[in-house]
Amino acid sequence: MVNSGSNNAPENHPDHHHDLGSVLGPARLAYFTPVFEQPTLADRKAMFILGASGLLVTVLMFFAPPLQALAGFAGKPAGVVLMVAVLCVIALVLTAAVTAYLAYTRPLPAMPPTLALFREVGARDADAYVAAMYALDHRRAMRDMLHYNYSIATQAAAKFRLVNRSLACLHIAIPMWMMLLLVLAVWG
């Protein structure tokens, strides 16, 4: 006779499907949540921002002599406004680039030792890794995956916050940059 409160219920026991369902749902969520893709997406956006920032600065440096000549030709008040605009663009682009770099280099938060993390796997030789994997029970494996998912999600959220700040700087800098180029085109 099988005890209905037992966790080792045979397949034909009425509680079997209830026990299996209580494990499958959380396990599916823990093992198949695609959080690992999010930091990479944030890194790609940060790299784009770094490239765009480099392009903006390069073009601005190329047009520095004509901007300087325009500032001298336009007179003191207009020249000051022009130079303030140039300095604002440089400050915004520099802030965007530094913030994007900080997002790109954001490390993975600390987590308890887990075989789900590449550092833990790489620190062991193959035999020790295999032995440690076979020693895991389902509860420990799920807990390790939850720690891993949480750390990856925390890292991704921090990266996206920084990337969004960086983009906000570029949303202001790019129109100002374009206005400077337009002023140069009209003046020249």
pLDDT digits (tens, 9 = 90+) for 74-85: 888 988 999 999
Cα 119 from Cα 113, distance rounded (Å):
9
CA distances from 49 to 97, 99, 105 (A): 7, 9, 14
Name the burial class of residue 143, with classes exposed (0-12), middle (13-18) and buried (19+) by CB atoms within 10 angstroms of its CB.
Answer: middle
Tell me the pTM. 0.77
**What's the mean per-residue pLDDT of the chain?**
85
Does residue 23 register a pLDDT over 70? no
Question: What are 141's two structure tokens?
Answer: 């494996």
Cα 90 from Cα 185, distance rounded (Å):
20
Does residue 10 register a pLDDT over 70? no
The predicted pLDDT at position 5 comes to 46
Question: What are 4's two structure tokens?
Answer: 């209905």
The per-residue pLDDT for range 137-179, each reduced to its tens digit, is 888 888 888 888 889 999 999 999 999 999 999 999 999 999 9
Residue boundaries of the structural domains of the chain: 36-187
Among 64-78, 101-115, 160-174, the range of highest mean pLDDT:
160-174
Count of beta carbons in the 10 Å neighbourhood of residue 125: 8
Among 6-10, 61-65, 126-130, 143-147, the range of highest mean pLDDT:
61-65
Residue with tokens 């202001």: 172
